[in-house]
Amino acid sequence: MGRDKALVEVDGTPMAARVIAALRGSGADPVVLVGGDAIALGPFDAEVVPDRWPGQGPLAGLATALTAAPLADADIVLVAATDQPWLEAADLDLLVTALVAEPAAVGAVADRGRGRFDGLPGAWRPTLGPGVVGAVEAGHRRLDHLRNLGALVVVPARRADTLVDVDDPADLDQPGPP
């Protein structure tokens, strides 16, 4: 994108603000942002923690989130990427409900029907944190490695269009959910 995705606006609202609203709408408290410029992210009224492994991929960001002091004691940690600007609280609620229903599972993720593993957004048990840290320290970077760390609940997406992520400026030209 050439700049911090969290600050890129979609329909006049920064992507981070849109994702934070979905998290809060699903009951997430506190909301913690992993990495990024703490000063630039200050207006979003969320705690910013430094990414322990900056630039090392989404698994590293998840490891940081699951072991961050304000989240490590939670029952469930919701994690979403700031480049999922059409995410809705209902998408996250579905994941939490699925995880609660499966006490042996370490996480719940949505199946977007893309034929590949998408780990974000996800509802995670913080007890998974040390295993994710170990995976990152062993050189793993991709979220699909989570399949090796415990049972996952894979839930059909409520609406795949709300889970779309923005990786390129052209992605913003695509119509978002109504």
What is the tens place of the pLDDT at every residue in 125-138? 999 999 999 999 99
What's the pLDDT at 129? 95
What class, spelled out in words, does domain 5-163 have in CATH? alpha beta
Strand 47-49 relative to strand 32-34: parallel, antiparallel, unpaired? Answer: parallel
Give the pLDDT score at 176: 63
Q: Please indicate whether residue 1 or residue 61 has the higher confidence score (pLDDT).
A: 61
Could you tell me the pLDDT band of residue 18, with boundaries at 50, 70 and 90?
A: very high
70-108 confidence digits (pLDDT tens):
888 889 999 999 999 999 999 999 999 999 999 999 999
Distance of CA 38 to the CA centre of its chain: 18
Q: Residue 1 has what pLDDT?
A: 52
Structure tokens of 151?
A: 């049972």
Phi-psi region of 128 (alpha: psi -120 to 50; beta: other; left: phi over 0): alpha
The burial of 36, by beta-carbon neighbours within 10 Å (0-12 exposed, 13-18 middle, 19 or more buried), is given as: buried
**Distance (Å, rounded) from C-alpha 144 to C-alpha 118?**
7
